[in-house]
Amino acid sequence: MSTSDDIWILGIRMTKFGKHPDRDVVDLASEAVLGALADGGVTMKDIGVIAAGNLMNATAGIGQQLQKQVGQTGVPVYNVANACATGATALRTAIMAVKSGEVDMGLAVGVEKLSGAGLLGGGGVAKADGDTWEPSGRFGAVASTDGRIGTNTMPGVFAQIGMEYGHRYGGTTFELFARISEKNHAHSTLNPLAAYQKQFTLEEIMGDMMISYPNTRPMCSANCDGAAAAVVTNGATLARLSGEQQRRAIKVSASVLTTDPYEEACQVLPNVNTLTRNAARIAYEQAGIGPTDLDLVELHDCFATAELVHYDNLMLCDEGGAVDFFESGAPWRDGTTPVNVSGGLQSKGHPISATGIANVWEVCHHLRGEAGDRQIEGAKVGLAHVIGLGSACGVHVLERSAA
């Protein structure tokens, strides 16, 4: 078994993503938490800390509300909000508490209700459109950048990011981005927890409603409701548990959170590339592996354009080689580096605060050999990635137990 300061995911669960009009965030979070506890074979009495993420729904601390449903044991609660990286940040918060030795076991949960939220602006907030601009907020009389030197709406931001990559390295076309979406929707048909399980033809994707060129509607992440939760523990505690718990535990070989280093341009418009590349580099160093050691990757494909640039940012290909990487067939389920076997955010859905842990859930199930029809055979090492504008990037490298 591992050394005592190793960190392990003992139990993990995500809810079915989709529309849940009859359930609120506490209901959804409770389902995920109770499922994760049951999956790990533990109870709330074993948990020493809770990190709870919610961005848009909770009027008071979601963690404290959640405790009233699943068990009020008096442990510390951290309420986390970090854009689309909220779930990954909650997980890292629980990991740090365990790794510090303060507690032996921690719980992380992310939950969101987003079905029907409409177009989201910067920071995951629904965009308010008005006929006139009124000065407000931190910048006072300085007008918004939206529509002047760029955009703060998510489809526009990531359209710009994809187009910039093509301008810099070449090879990108409308059809290429649509084919990335075609891959993810095809993968989704094997994921029963995905919000949408529908295969699209390339013609259907390219002919659908244009949201922000080159992203049509099927190429955009799906606003939906959902939750995901994970129980983490240290190696010394895991060694005292049953053989079955040890066998199913997944080692967290790296847990990394980064923000933007200073660049003059990104004081106004976000740069999702530098902080992701920095996070990936640190994660590979922590885990003692390289990109070629990965058996699968769940990355933040909030738009088809985002997936392409993150092939490069996560160093799955040579710098500038994302187009060739995709054309090689590598990111398909039967390729050399399967990417978004879950269907990705475009199909699985994107309840903002749940996504970071849901991506980890997907990787864990392949490493356990429990992914059903979409199982990547023999998977031993996987990477989960998420990014939130503002900006924050979370990367977790996960390894199968040797027990």
Task: Point out the catalytic residue in the list 187, 310, 350, 396.
Answer: 350
Sign of torsion over alpha carbons 260, 263, 268, 274? negative
CA dist 344 and 364 (Å) reads: 15
Sign of torsion over alpha carbons 136, 137, 143, 148? negative
CB atoms within 10 A of CB 179: 16
Q: Determine if the peptide bond prior to 351 is cis (ω within 30°).
A: no
Query: Could you confirm whether 84 is annotated as catalytic?
Result: yes
Residues near 9 by beta carbon (within 8 Å), at least 6 away in sequence: 230, 231, 232, 249, 250, 251, 252, 360, 364, 398
Task: Point out the catalytic residue in the list 84, 220, 224, 393.
Answer: 84
Query: Could you confirm whether 187 is annotated as catalytic?
Result: no
Q: How does DSSP assign 21-57, residue by residue?
A: TT--HHHHHHHHHHHHHHHHT--GGG--EEEEE-SSS
Largest interatomic CA distance in the chain: 64
Active site (catalytic) residues: 84, 350
